[in-house]
Structure 1
Amino acid sequence: MDLTIATFLVQDGLTNGAIYALLGLALVLVFSVTRVIFIPQGEFVAYGAMTLSFLDAGRFPPTASLLLCFGCLVFLLNLWDMRREFSVSGLARNALLNLALPAAIYLLAVTLASTQPGAMVKALLTILIIAPMGLYVYRIAYKPLADASVLVLLIVSVGVHLALMGLGLVFFGAEGLRAKALSSGMFMVGSFPVSAQSLWIYGATIAIIVGLYFFFEKTLLGKALRATAVNRVGARLVGVRTQLTGVTAFVLAATIGAVSGILIGPIATVYYDTGFLIGLKGFVAAIIGGLASFPVTAFAAIGVGIVEAFTSFYASSYKEVIVFGLIIPVLVWLSISTTVHEDE
C-alpha cells in the first residue's frame, strides 16, 4: 500500500464514519431519553434512501402511503384511549396530527412526484415523509410500554425492526435502488479529488451535530430531554412531560435517519434490508460511547469507518467480523471497570 491508496481509504472511512456518527448519535439520544435500544434506526435510513430514489425517478414514493396508514392506525388507537374521557378539543387535535398531517404530506408527494423538482426540494420532501414516522412508531409500539424494563423494550425493538423491514419489502420490493447525487462534481484537496457528495455528507454531519448541541443547550425542550436522560422520575416530579420528550427523541431519530438515507442513497445501492447492517455499525459506535456520550460516539463512528475501509482492503472477507468485533474489548472493559450494576 502506498500513500495514495491510504489517503483514498481514509477518505472513504471518513465518509462512512460520518454516516455512522449520525446513526450512533440518534441511538444514544433515543436510549438516554427513553431507555429504548432503537434497533429499527437503520430502517429509517433505508426508507429515506429509497424514497429519494423514487422521487428522482419521477415516481410516487410508497412511504407516503405507509405514513398515511400509520397515521390512521394512531388515530384509531387514540380514539380508543379517549373512550372514557372524550373531549372535542382532544378529538380535533388527534385528527389534525394523525389524519390531516399525513394526508397533507401524501397530497404534497402526489403533486411533486411527477414534476421533477430540484434536488433540495426532493430531499426536504423525503425528510417530511420520514420524520413523522418516528412519532407514529413511538405511539404504536413504545408508548404503551414506556415504563417497562430495558429488556422488554429491546424485545419490542426487535419486533418493530422486523415489522418495518417487512413493510419495506412490501412497499418497495426486493430490488435495490440508487438515488441521484445532490450535486455532481469533484474538488481537489491538494492532489486528491473529493466528490461533492462527500462534502455534503461532511457538511450535513457537522451541521446536525452543531444543531443538536444548540438544541440541548439553548432550548427549553432540549433541556427537558437532558433532564429526562439524567433522571426520568426526577424529571416527572419537576413537571417535565416525559411522553413529550420521548416523542421528540423518536422524531429527531427518524429525521436523522432520513437525512442519513438521503446522504447514503447516491453512493450505495440500498435494498429494503440494507438499513439493518448500517444501523448496526452505528450501534457499534454507540456502544463504544457507552450509550451515553455524544462526543465519544461521534469519534468512535469515525474510527469504525476507517477500520472498515482498511479491513475491506486487507481482509474484505472478514470486514464485518472485524468491525463488529470492536465492541468486544469495550464490553470486557466495561464489565471489569463497573462496580455497581443496576437491575436493568
Structure 2
Amino acid sequence: MDFSIAGILAIDGLTNGAVYALLALATVLLFAVTRVIFIPQGEFVAFGALTLAIMQTGRVPGTVWFLLVLAGAAAISDIYEGVKHGHPVARIGKQVARTLSVPVLVSLVAIWAAPRGFPLVVQAVLALALVTPFGTLIYRLAYERLASASVLVLLIVSVGVHFALVGLGLFFFGAEGFRNPSFWDARFSAGAVALSGQALIIFLASIALIVLLWLYFERTLSGKALRATAVNRVGARLMGISSNSAGRLAFTMAAFIGALSGLLIGPTTTIFFDSGFIIGLKGFVAAVFAGLSSYPLAMVGALLVGLLESFGSFWASAFKEVIVFSSILPVLLWRSLRDPHGEEH
C-alpha cells in the first residue's frame, strides 16, 4: 500500500465515519434521554434515502401512507386517553388537531409534489419532512407507555419495531436497491487523492449539524431540558420537565438525523430496504465506544469505525463487517473490567 492508496482509503473512511458519527450521536441522545437502545435508527436512514429515490421516479412514496396511518393511530390514542380521563371534547379535539396537522399537511404536499419533478434539493427537503415525524409517532405508539420499564423490555420493543420497519420497507420500496444522484458532482484533486463534491457535502453537513446540536444543548431552554432529563429523569420531572415531551423531542431529532444521514449517504452507495440495519449498527458500535454516554467519544469512535471499515475492506474485503463488529469486543471487555457491576435485584 502506497501513500496515494492510503489517502484514498482514509478519505473514504472519514466520509463514512462522518455519517456514522451522526447516527452515533442520535443513539447516545436516545439512550441518555429515554434509556432506549434504538436498534431501528438505521431504518430512518433507509427510509430517507428510499423516499427520495421513489420521488425521483415521479411516484408518491409509501412513506406518505405510513405517516398517515401512524398519525391516525396516534389520534385514536389521543381520543382514548381524553375520554378515559374525562377531558372536555374541545380539549380532545385540539390535541387530535395537533397530532394530525403536520403529518397530514406534509403528506398532502408530498402527494401534490411527487409527480411534478421538482429539483433534487426540494425533493430532499420533502423527504426529510416526511420521515422526521416518524420519530415522535413511533415513540408515542411504541415507547411512551413503557417509559418506566427496564432497559431490557425497551430493547425487546426496539427489536420488534426494527422488524416491523424492515418489513414495511420491503412493502413500500420493494427489493430493488436505489442510488440517488449526487447533490454536487464536482471533484477536487490533491496529488493522487481526489475528493468528490458529495464527500465534501457529507463533511460540511455533518460538522454543521454537530455544531448546531452543541449550540442547541448549550444555549436553548429546551436543549437544557433534554440535558437535564438525560442526567436525572426523576430530578427533571420534579423541576417540571415532562419526560414524555423530552422523549418525543429526542425521537424527532433522531429521526431527522437518520433521514439526513440517508440523504447524505444515498449517492455514495446503493440502499436497499434492509440496508439501514448494518449502517445503523455501525453507528451503534461507535456509540458503544463512548459508553452510550459521551457525544465527543461517539464522534471519535465513529471516525475510527469508518477508517477500520475502509482499510479492512482493502486488506480483507470479505471480512470487513466482521472486522468492524469484532472491534466492539475489546471495548466491552475493557469497560467491564473498568466498571464492574454486581447482579441487579
Amino acid corresponding to residue 139 of structure 1 in structure 2: R
Q: Say whether residues 1:144 and 2:145 are aligned partners.
A: yes
Residues 188 and 339 of structure 1: is their aligned pair in 2 closer, same or farther, counting only changes over 3 Å? same
Q: TM-score, normalised by structure 1?
A: 0.97
Cα gap change, 1:185 to 1:298, in 2 (>3 Å): same
Letter in 2 for 1:55: M
Q: Is the 8 A contact 1:27 1:41 kept in 2?
A: yes
The answer for the alignment partner of 1:3 in structure 2 is 3
* Aligned-residue offset at 1:97: 2.8
For 1:103, the equivalent position in structure 2 comes to 104
User: Is the deviation greater in 117-126 or in 142-151?
Assistant: 117-126
Distance 1:155 1:97 in 2: 30
Q: How does 1:163-312 map to 2 (within 5 A)?
A: 163-189=164-190, 191-312=192-313
SS at structure 1 position matched to 2:268 = coil
- Residue 90 of structure 1: how far off its partner (Å): 3.0
Contact kept in structure 2, 1:52 and 1:262, CA below 8 Å:
yes
Task: Return the alpha-carbon distance in structure 1 between the equivalents of residues 191 and 79 of structure 2.
Answer: 61
Structure 1 counterpart of 2:73, one-letter code: L
Q: Secondary structure at the match of 1:114?
A: helix
Partner of 1:174, secondary structure, is: coil
Task: Give the drift of 1:204.
Answer: 0.8
Alignment partner, residue 64 of structure 1: 64
Does the Cα contact within 8 Å between 2:290 and 2:298 map onto a contact in 1?
yes
Rounded to whole Å, the distance in 1 between the matches of 2:300 and 2:195 is 21
Q: 1:82 offset after TM fit, Å?
A: 1.3
CA distance in 1, matches of 2:239, 2:203: 39
- The offset of 1:192, in angstroms, is 2.5
Runs of 5+ in structure 2 lacking a partner? none
Q: Unpaired runs of 5+ in structure 1?
A: none
What is the alpha-carbon distance in structure 1 between the residues aligned to residue 44 and residue 341 of structure 2? 35
Aligned letter for 2:168? L
Q: What is the CA distance between 1:89 and its match in structure 2? A: 4.1
Deviates more, 1:288-297 or 1:173-182: 173-182
CA distance in 2, matches of 1:91, 1:171: 32
Structure 1 residue 43: Cα displacement: 0.3
Taking the aligned partners of 1:97 and 1:342, their CA distance within structure 2 comes to 44
Separation in 1, partners of 2:235, 2:268: 45
**Residues 341/19 of structure 1: CA separation in 2 closer, same or farther (3 Å cut):** farther
Distance in 1 separating the partners of 2:156 and 2:133: 23
Deviation string for 1:196-252 (max 9, x for gaps)?
110110011001100110000001110011001101111111111111110000000
The CA deviation string for residues 255-304 of structure 1, in whole angstroms up to 9 with x for no partner, is: 00000000011111111100000000000000000000000000110010
Answer whether contact 1:56 1:180 (CA < 8 A) is retained: no
What does residue 25 of structure 2 align with? 25
- Structure 1 residue identity aligned to 2:334: W
Q: Which amino acid aligns with 2:48?
A: G
Letter of the 1:312 partner, please give it: S
How far the C-alpha of 1:144 sits from its partner, in A, is 0.9
Q: Give the aligned residue type for 1:38.
A: F
Deviation at 1:163? 0.6
Q: TM-score w.r.t. structure 2 length?
A: 0.97
Separation (CA, whole Å) in 2 of partners of 1:288 and 1:261: 23
**1:35: how far off?**
0.2
Q: Distance in 1 between matches of 2:39 and 2:205?
A: 23
Output the CA distance in 1 between the equivalents of 2:76 and 2:247.
21
Match in the other structure for 1:14: 14
Kept in 1: contact 2:170–2:273 (CA 8 A)? yes
What are the equivalent positions in structure 2 for 1:26-65 lying under 5 Å apart? 26-65=26-65
Counterpart amino acid of 1:118? P
Distance 2:183 2:158 in 1: 32
Residue 122 in 1 paired to residue 114 in 2? no
Report the Cα distance in structure 2 between the residues aligned to 1:307 and 1:125, rounded to whole angstroms. 34
Q: Which amino acid aligns with 1:91?
A: I
